[in-house]
Structure 1
Amino acid sequence: MPRGFSLFAHPWRWYLLALVVIGLDVATKVWAVEQFRFGPPQQIIPGLLRFTYAENYGAAFSFLADAGGWQRWLFGLVALSFSVVICIWLWRLAPAKRWESGALALILGGALGNLWDRVMLGYVRDFISVYYNSWHFPVFNVADMAISVGAAMLVIELLFFGEHRDKNARDSAEV
């Protein structure tokens, strides 16, 4: 390793966070398959949350799930391309941009977790079901949660902190 190299320095710590997300995602999917693939769903919060098992052959909300199989490779290619862009983006970010880096790491880990399923199995394993009475949100997994939280963090960054950051950059450039 190069002198002064630290696995916890920027950007390596963010790649480690993405690996943790992938590990959690794969581990929970294996657990869900063992517990619920052939068994009944498990109520966690009655009337609101249960663990079940579902196979998603499409993209978000089962988009193109019945397209005949070609979508597996399209979605895989999109996820891989997007992951490469995020890796480069993380590498180039300033160390002070921890919020943005954390958001990108969550998105990267989620994208790669679902990509693993898509490439290895041809579908994504989902197991978390949120519902209320007759309303049901599409079943999802840990990777989906990481992507959603990361995307929300990026939106928060853009809406609430982007202008502040740009103003500080302008102020320091004028000095």
Structure 2
Amino acid sequence: MFRSTPSSGMLNWLGLAFIILIADQFSKVLLMGYYQLGDSTYVTSFFNIVRVHNRGAAFSFLSDASGWQRWFFTAIGIAAVLFILWMLKSHPGQRLFSFAMACILGGAIGNLVDRVLYGHVVDFLDLHYQHWHFPAFNIADSAITIGAACLILDELRRVRRTR
């Protein structure tokens, strides 16, 4: 049958990252076609769709800066993408680790595309409880979070195996 080689493993993980990137960018283009900045749609008692532009990082960190943060976070994003590609190339057979890296890679590129094209990241998923709202996020952010959780799980499993 088919044998998995390190290069085919890497291609599979890059394929996953590409799917995440496409889903992220498609959702944002769709949103921008129907919503103006600040528009919101009630979906459930705990979830809205809202168009928000984030010029900063996670939780709008540095969003009030004078504009330099666009290029700062773009540079960090490019460095992260290069580092993740190197990590994927170095560990293609470690499935959970590579899955985590692919999720983070797809999300990082998705948000990087936004920064380069628009000068901000487009967020639209709004989870809330009564009047408390979690900061709006997007598919790329979700993929990065899933990837980070999988990295933690992978490390816990690795440490457990070495005992």
- Compute the TM-score of the two structures, normalised by the length of structure 2: 0.92
- The C-alpha deviation readout for 1:4-41, integer Å capped at 9, x for no partner, is 998x8211100111111110000000111112226842
CA distance change for structure 1 residues 17 and 94 in 2, over 3 Å: closer, same or farther? Answer: closer
Residue 144 (structure 1) aligns with: 141
In the TM superposition, residue 124 of structure 1 has moved relative to its aligned partner by 0.4
- Structure-2 residue corresponding to 1:57: 55
Residue by residue over 1:149-168, the C-alpha shift from the partner in whole angstroms, topping out at 9 and shown as x without a partner, is 00001011112x1124435x
What is the distance in 1 between the residues matched to 2:79 and 2:139? 21
**Residues 165 and 74 from structure 1, CA distance in 2 versus in 1: closer, same or farther, beyond 3 angstroms?**
same
The percentage of aligned residue pairs carrying the same residue is: 38
Q: Secondary structure of 1:143's match?
A: helix
Q: How does 1:1-175 map to 2 (within 5 A)?
A: 9-37=8-36, 40-45=39-44, 47-95=45-93, 97-159=94-156, 161-166=157-162
Contact 1:59 1:75 in 2 (8 A): yes
In 2, Cα distance between equivalents of 1:142 and 1:88 = 24
Check the 8 A contact 1:36/1:51 in 2, yes or no.
no
1: CA distance, partners of 2:126 / 2:90: 37
Instruction: Tell me the secondary structure at the aligned position of residue 68 of structure 1.
Output: coil
For structure 1, the 5+ residue unaligned runs are: 168-175
**1:141 offset after TM fit, Å?**
0.3
Instruction: State the Cα distance separating 1:66 from its structure 2 match.
Output: 1.3
Instruction: Give structure 1 regions of 4+ aligned residues with deviation exceeding 6 angstroms.
Output: none
Q: Offset at 1:55? A: 0.4
Secondary structure, in 3 states, of the residue corresponding to 2:62?
Answer: coil
The amino acid across from 1:117 in the alignment is D
Distance in 1, matches of 2:37 and 2:88, equals 40
> Do the aligned partners of 1:58 and 1:72 also contact (CA within 8 Å) in 2?
yes
Counterpart of 2:149, as a letter, is A
Higher-Rg structure is 1
Q: CA deviation at 1:42?
A: 1.8
In structure 2, distance between residues paired with 1:62 and 1:40 = 18
1:95-118 CA deviation, whole Å, 9 max, x = no partner? 1x1111001000000000000000
Task: Return the alpha-carbon distance in structure 1 between the equivalents of residues 15 and 161 of structure 2.
Answer: 26
Q: For this pair of structures, how many residues does the alignment match?
A: 161
- Please state whether the residue corresponding to 2:9 is helix, strand or coil: coil
Mapped to 1, the partners of 2:12 and 2:153 lie a distance apart of 22
CA pair 151-119 structure 1, distance change in 2 beyond 3 A: same
